[in-house]
Amino acid sequence: MSAVIMDGKALAAKIKDHVREQVEKMDRKPGLAVVLVGENPASKVYVNGKKKDCSQCGIYSEEYVLPGETTQEELLDLIGALNQREDIDGLLVQFPLPGHLDGKAVELAIRPDKDVDCVHPANMGYLMMGEETLWPCTPAGVMRLLSEYEIDPSGKRCVVVGRSNIVGKPQAMLMLWGDATVTVCHTKTPDLAAECRQADILVSAAGHTGLVTGDMIKPGAVVVDVAVNRNTEGKLCGDVVFEEALEKVSYITPVPGGVGPVTRAMLMENTLRAARRHGK
């Protein structure tokens, strides 16, 4: 049986259509504020994409592009002001921040009920305990992709490659809540290939081009490639050697066009959820 390439663009359009339908029924529209500090070109692309998504979904949006020399106090003052505004339901600060800024302090400053990318420790704690909270967008997008293709993690062996706070760790937790048996691999894992070969569902979020080769994949596995890298030719690619994996897997996400579009769509859904919690 040939592998199914999971279409993230189609799913993202479906999610955004649903969000737009819900927003049209609301008297007060959800609002999202995105804050970008500095001149990171990749971050600018992401921010522009989020602005476009908001327009498509009928969500009110504001964008704050601050100079790279912005001080900690200035950034925290802006976050504090946005926290207090009733028309802003979601608040997202684009990382990475310039080196002189304290990212932890910024995460703590965002009001948990407006934390639409689940970076506040309170929301991460709720996620750990399995309590209702706003899920981080990328791991939530992975779970939505699996659901869309009727792939049930329950009873499956899942291997997550990468242990970041924004993807690897929360992804492992969501898989656990989906009743998978989860292994998290990282730079100190002694035999990554052997661990990957055990996976019924393999999620790679390490950010290293060519890290997962075809011989590291169990026949029939589901492979979700979260990473967005550039190869030596400058083309976008993930961690997984796609052509090699395609010969082994049952399902696989492409890069680009896989997890990325769904991540952006989940931000729209989280903003809608936050607005509903605020009584809109």
User: Which whole number is the average pLDDT over 14-31?
Assistant: 98
Per-residue pLDDT band at 39 (split at 50, 70, 90): confident
- Is residue 72 annotated as a catalytic residue, yes or no? no
| Mean pLDDT taken over the chain | 96
Burial annotation 201-225 (CB, 10 A radius, 16+ → b, else e): bbbbbbbebebbeeebbbeebbbbb
CB of 272 within 8 A of CB of 23?
Answer: yes
Looking at 50, 114, 169, 218, which residue is catalytic? 50
What's CA 250's distance to the chain center, in Å? 23
C-alpha distances in Å from residue 199, one per residue of 2, 140, 163, 216 = 19, 20, 17, 10
Model's pTM, two decimal places?
Answer: 0.95
Looking at 53, 94, 200, 225, which residue is catalytic? 94
- Is residue 50 annotated as a catalytic residue, yes or no? yes
User: Which whole number is the average pLDDT over 144-154?
Assistant: 98
Looking at 89, 113, 115, 117, which residue is catalytic? 117
The ranges assigned to domains in the chain are: 29-113, 137-259
- Is residue 52 annotated as a catalytic residue, yes or no? no
Looking at domain 29-113, its CATH architecture is: 3-Layer(aba) Sandwich (3.40)
What whole-number distance in Å separates Cα of residue 43 and Cα of residue 28?
29
For residue 112, the number of C-alpha atoms closer than 13 Å in the C-beta half-sphere is 10
Both tokens of 49, joined, read: 């994409």
Domains 29-113 and 137-259 are alike in CATH topology: yes
According to the CATH classification, is domain 137-259 in 3.40.50.720?
A: yes
CB of 230 within 8 A of CB of 99?
Answer: no
